[in-house]
Amino acid sequence: MSFGREIDRGSVVGDEQNIIDIFGRGSGRGFELRNVNLPIGWQSADIILEEKGLKKFEDYCRWVCLKWGYQLNSIVLDPSGVIRELEIMKSETQKISKMYLSDDWVGHKEGTYLHQNVNTIETTMVFQEIMSRYFTLCWGREFDYGYIYSDPSHGINGYSPSDLKIPETIFCSGEHLVSGQEQVEIRNRAHNLAGRFGQDLNSIDFNELGIMRKVSLARKSAIDGGVYYHLPNEDGLVNTYESDGVDNPYQAAALHGITAMYINFLLKQKRNKS
């Protein structure tokens, strides 16, 4: 859905941007969203969502909820268009879940969104898609908040990354991005992330500059063609990840979480250098 010029991206510089990822708590304790944070400078933003843009965004939120079997209960925004609270309800169970901008910054950064009853994989995917699109529209000048896309309402069982990419300024820098030791640390963290969704990591492939070309999960059978996220061409010209063989939300959450962890690592490196 296009929001066109009705979105005013405001005056926010956009530091401290990170990909929103789904995190498995382990031991059957459900799931949560991480890195749902407004960028530095959000409080000084101009009007972020004009009236027409807001209406389109609300329609988009309803569509995302509907395809997952949810209803949009409410969106509460402040005068500049910053989401203060977003509430949805599972149509089948009437269970209400919400995300809200915390006013209590003890223990987390200013501009952090917290959540209530966001503990199933489907609920986290609804909020991830909505909040990622919202952040991209309002603060994504040179940065896209990638998310997991699927449309179960149309019988589409596959899952794919949407706008999940290495920022072009990093991708095209020609610099060596990840050292050998850092690659080992990323692999160790990836094993842990995959296990939190009941998955086993197969491999992570880096090129000579430390760009993660492919991350794959272990095959479930001998005829399984593989489950992975990858940069699609071998000449290294495409910075956007695609998927293959991902047919359930747990595989998608594991692969997205690993890729987001890698991209967020690169973003942190860039901030530390500046």
Across the range 126-144, mean pLDDT stands at: 84
Is the predicted pLDDT of residue 110 greater than 80, yes or no? no
Predicted local distance difference test score (pLDDT) of residue 222:
57
Q: What's the whole-model pTM score? A: 0.87
Is the predicted pLDDT of residue 77 greater than 90, yes or no? no
**Using 50, 70 and 90 to split pLDDT, how confident is the model at 3?**
very low
Sheet containing strand 113-116, edge to edge, reads: 70-77, 83-90, 96-101, 113-116
| Pick from 122, 146, 1, 134: nearest CA to 68 | 122
β-partners of residue 201 are 217
Is the predicted pLDDT of residue 11 greater than 50, yes or no? no
**Using 50, 70 and 90 to split pLDDT, how confident is the model at 5?**
very low
pLDDT digits (tens, 9 = 90+) for 23-40: 887 666 788 898 898 877
| Pick from 240, 251, 217, 270: nearest CA to 22 | 251
Contact of 163 with 145, CB cutoff 8 Å? yes
β-partners of residue 160 are 149
- 3-state class (DSSP) for residue 195: helix
- 3-state class (DSSP) for residue 197: coil
CA distance 97 to 106: 23
CA dihedral 37, 43, 49, 51 (to 10 degrees): 140
**Using 50, 70 and 90 to split pLDDT, how confident is the model at 8?**
very low
**Using 50, 70 and 90 to split pLDDT, how confident is the model at 42?**
confident
Q: Where are the domains of the chain?
A: 1-145, 157-274
